Each structure stands twice: as structure tokens, then as C-alpha cells.
Amino acid sequence: MNLHEYQAKELFARYGLPVLPGQVAQTPEEARDVAASIGGTVVIKAQVLVGGRGKAGGVKLAHSPDEAYERAREILALTIKGLPVRKVLVAQAAEIARELYLSIALDRSRKLPLIMLSAEGGVDIEEVARTAPGKIVRRHIPLEGLRSYQARALFQPLLADGKLVQQAADILLRLWRVYQEGDCQLAEINPLAITPDGRVIALDAKVILDDNADFRHREWTTWRDSGDETPGARLAHEKGLSYVKLDGDIGCVVNGAGLAMATMDLVKHYGGEPANFLDIGGSSSPEKVTAALRIITSDARDGGGDSKVRAILFNIFGGITRCDDVANGIVQSLAETPLAVPLVIRLTGTNEEVARRILSEHGLQATTSMDDGVRTVIARAQEVGA
Ligand code: GDP
Ligand code: MN
């Protein structure tokens, strides 16, 4: 789960990281009130879950409450990289002498957290990585953790001034705690700003939480901004199904992650493009099947983008999953909401015969061959597309 900047800053503040006071606003009026309560110059920042808001006009300074109203009005009217701006953060503005980049992210290949640090902050780190990779310092954090002398040594060459080094090292150690205790995949400060009067501040905050740890973080539910999820993703999350929306037009409902991957591979092999990854799990129930169809079709209808599901493939290998459960789910689901696109069903394994009978009683049929199922669904999708 990606946190908004204002949420990430709340988290940072709990760990004593230096962030400037601010509050989120949903209307220009609210922004004006927040600006008045903060006083002085404020910065108005679009709260959308993408980077590069600055360049897109989503970060602006305001020198008075009335100006804050105007800037907030402009920013709340923006759509940045496809995301409408619904909220802004109004925060005390800082004066900036220098901008650094600092992050801790999971390096999956080394199975260790990785600190990345650069004197070239403020801009996209991907851009720095492309144009001046030598300007990014990388250090893995070993299993025994991060010591304060190590943190100081990292900043020493960049900052020279002992007081700045001390502050920056303290920030890194706190960020490490945020990362570790908070179960983050990424904790990023860009820019880590140095003010003309020698303070080091986290001016931006980006946090990605590891969803696998949400069972031990009850507070996360209050952060989940369902308005930012596609309808399908929200439903999948509610129902506990693994779902990833993709750009293709072949909807895939599969039991088991491995079979789901294999199905997507085969769809691509025969020249199709999967619209999603969707694993309905090992032990399935009619309810899950109904939810799966709703997930795929709701994203096909109003999930944004230009992708459209043209045909749906069920690929079920009955082991613990019973084919008759799936068949009942399909029949129930179609009775409630008829599908607007062709449905191709492949099933084999436990209770296959019962499943086939249930389906045929409702005018549906299923193949046993995965190869056949995939080819058929691609052909049907092409008919629909033509
Ligand atoms: P991003 O573009 O989405 O990463 O948004 P940031 O929060 O990083 O803001 C982009 C840029 O706006 C920063 O690199 C700063 O140059 C500038 N900025 C952000 N906050 C302030 C502030 O408080 N004062 C000043 N002067 N500039 C700011
Ligand atoms: Mn930034």
C-alpha cells in the first residue's frame, strides 16, 4: 500500500523525524483556514500517489491565506498522471539551500534493505540513476542493523559540516526505524532539504507499506484510501483475493497462483494479452467465484484507462478446489448479473462431472484442455473486438 505524503509525514513525525507542520485540505476554503492557522508562507501540495507532482504544477507556494485559497483551487482542479487531485497538503514552507535524496528500500536481489543517498535531490531519482549513476551512494543494511557511526560516515563526504552530518545521520537512523518497525518496502525523503540556517528537514515523504504485514498493523486500515483503488482492486481486497489489473483484454479467473501465471503465459503465447492476474485460491466457494467475476467486470467497465475485457477465461484445476463449487458460482453469478462478454470455461479434476452437469443444465459447457480453453478465449475475444 502506498501512503499519501501527509500520511507518511504523520508516520515520520511519530518517529521524531523533522517534518514541518501541515494539514490536509479538501477544499480551497479549508486550505485557506489551514494556511491562516500555520501563518507565513505555506506550500500547497497535491496528494496523489505519483511522483513528479512538482513538475506537473501540483506543488505551489502561497504567501497569504488568500493566495493559499487560489493555489489550492488550481491544484484541486488538476489531474496528475491520470489521477484527479482530491486533497492537498497545506504545510509550512521551508527555505531551501540544498536538496538531497535519501531512501531505504528493499533490495530483493540481495535480500537486504538498501540505503540510497544522493546530493542530487529534489528531482526524480530514476533520472539521476540514468544520467549520473555515480552520484547515488548505495549501502546495504546488514542483518545486525545500522550503527550511528555508519550513518555519519555516509553523510560525511556529502555534507562536511559536522552539525549537518549529525542531523542527517539522526534522520537516517529514525528512517531506518520507520522502515523496520513500520514494515515498509520503501521509505523515501526527496528532498531532504537543508535550510540556509542549517537545519535538515524531510520536505517530502514517500512510503510503501508491505501488504503482507497488514495483519500486525491495525492502524493501516485508516490509511487505506479506497478512493484511490480501482473498483476491482477494492473488491478484491475486501474479499481477500489476489488481483492485479493488467492492460490486456482477456480476463482470467484461475485457482492457484502458479496456474494463474501459466495461464497468462499461455494467453501471451497464443498472441493474446491478459487483462488481469486473479487467483481465487485453493479452496474455492461459489461466493469467491461471484466476487471474481464482479472484480474483473467492474474494472472492465469503469476501471479507467482504455483497456477493455473482451472475453473471460475460467481455468480451474480441481484439487482441493471443487469444480462443482466453481460451476455453481458461475451459474449463480450469471443469474444475478449476466455477462456482456463471452465466457470460456476450462475445468478438470475434483467433481468435474458434477460441474459439467451443472453447467450444461444452464446452457454452458466446459473444456478439459487448457490449451483449447486459451485458444478459444482468444478467438472469442477477437470476434468481439472485430
Ligand atoms: P514531488 O515533485 O512530487 O516529488 O513533490 P515534492 O514535495 O518533492 O516537491 C517538489 C519540489 O517543490 C521540491 O523539490 C522543492 O524544490 C519544492 N518544494 C517543496 N516544498 C517546498 C517548500 O516548503 N519550500 C520551497 N521553497 N520549495 C518547496
Ligand atoms: Mn519529492
pLDDT digits (tens, 9 = 90+) for 225-281: 656 677 788 888 888 888 998 889 999 999 999 999 999 999 999 999 999 999 988
| DSSP at 131 | H
283's CB contacts (< 8 A; 6+ apart) are: 320, 321
Residue 274 DSSP label: B
Highest mean pLDDT: which range of 130-139, 197-206, 238-247, 293-302: 197-206
Q: What percent of the chain lies above the pLDDT cut of 90?
A: 74
Ligand 1 proximity of 47 Cβ (cutoff 6 Å): no
- SS3 at position 74: helix
Three cell numbers, residue 79: 489531474
**Cβ contact 263:370 at 8 Å:** yes
Ligand 1 site, residue 59, Cβ cutoff 6 A = yes
56 lines ligand 1 (CB under 6 A): no
69, 101, 179, 243: the active-site residue:
101
pLDDT tens digits along 6-46: 999 999 999 999 999 999 999 999 999 999 999 999 999 99
Whether the bond into 191 is cis, omega within 30 of 0: yes
Q: 202 CA distance to ligand 2 centroid (A)?
A: 10
- C-alpha 251/C-alpha 292 separation (Å) is 10
Q: How far apart are CA 289 and CA 329, in angstroms?
A: 5
pLDDT of residue 140: 97
Confidence band for 305, pLDDT divided at 50, 70 and 90:
very low
The one-character DSSP state at 144 is: T
* Count of other CB atoms within 10 angstroms of residue 335: 10
pLDDT exceeds 50 at position 212: yes
**Exposure string for 212-231, b = 16+ CB within 10 A, e = fewer:** eebeeeeebeebbbeebebb
Tell the burial category of 25 from Cβ atoms under 10 Å away from its Cβ (0-12, 13-18, 19+).
Answer: buried
